[in-house]
């Protein structure tokens, strides 16, 4: 009888250990699965946007380029570029996202001085994603003219750079590059981590990288 009670106790302890291990593993696996989904969506969107700009480049006219250069303010230039991309990703310039407050991957708030700050953001692709375009101050001819953000999860959380938000640099020749391209691999991995901004994940994920590699 005592032996049976001992076996029952041993069996109960084994079950408790298995349950405890599962409770530790499942949240981690679930989070990784969600992140894998965001990475897949980002690669899909980046390929689509890269194709979009190749089409724009092939069809852009001298008048469009002249209008862009003659625009008086950054806001005017942003509006012109929004109009160019609008038909391709169905940008909704009427109903904008409300109370949309993205953060960096490390949880830091984004200030107006940050590269990651976008004053205007828009719904696109039937409200499935959120996009923003910002004209930036260029110093060298090789500097980008605009930066673009894409939240592949729309207004749904986590709204974090490097998780569901990614960035693209747009250059004078209508070429694009994801944030992080050009940095050395150590810098990319540091930035695409829980202590980084998450911006470099935009490039890291396009070359097959994964979170916390």
* Residue 126: both structure tokens together: 């039937």
More confident residue, 199 or 62: 199
Q: What is the pTM of this model?
A: 0.82
Phi first, then psi, for residue 167 (nearest 5°) are -130, 155
Segment among 61-65, 114-118, 208-212 with least mean pLDDT: 208-212
User: Of 50, 76, 8, whose CA–CA distance to 170 is shortest?
Assistant: 50
pLDDT at 172: 86
3-state SS class at 148: strand
Q: What is the DSSP annotation of 117-184?
A: --S-EEEETTTTEEEEEEE---SSTTS-SEEEEEETTTTSTT-BBTTTEEEEEE-TTS-EEETTTTS-
DSSP single-letter state for residue 207: G
Q: Spell out the domain ranges in the chain.
A: 2-207
Mean of per-residue pLDDT scores for the chain:
86
């Amino acid at each position: 009888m005592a032996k049976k009670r001992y076996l029952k106790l041993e069996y109960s302890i084994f079950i408790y250990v298995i349950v405890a291990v599962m409770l530790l593993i499942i949240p981690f696996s679930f989070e990784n699965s969600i992140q894998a989904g965001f990475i897949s969506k980002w690669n899909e969107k980046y390929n689509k946007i890269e194709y979009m700009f190749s089409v724009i480049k092939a069809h852009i006219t001298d008048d469009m380029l002249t209008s862009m250069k003659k625009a008086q303010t950054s806001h005017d230039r942003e509006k012109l570029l929004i109009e160019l991309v609008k038909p391709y990703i169905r940008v909704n310039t009427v109903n904008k996202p409300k109370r949309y407050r993205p953060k960096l991957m490390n949880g830091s708030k984004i200030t107006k001085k940050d590269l990651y700050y976008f004053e205007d953001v828009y719904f696109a692709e039937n409200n499935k994603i959120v996009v923003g375009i910002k004209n930036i101050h260029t110093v060298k001819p090789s500097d980008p003219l605009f930066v673009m953000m894409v939240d592949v999860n729309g207004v749904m959380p986590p709204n974090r750079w490097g998780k569901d938000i990614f960035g693209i640099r747009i250059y004078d020749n209508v070429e694009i590059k994801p944030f992080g391209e050009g940095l050395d691999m150590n810098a990319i991995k540091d930035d695409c981590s829980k202590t980084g901004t998450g911006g470099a994940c935009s490039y890291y994920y396009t070359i097959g990288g994964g979170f916390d590699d």
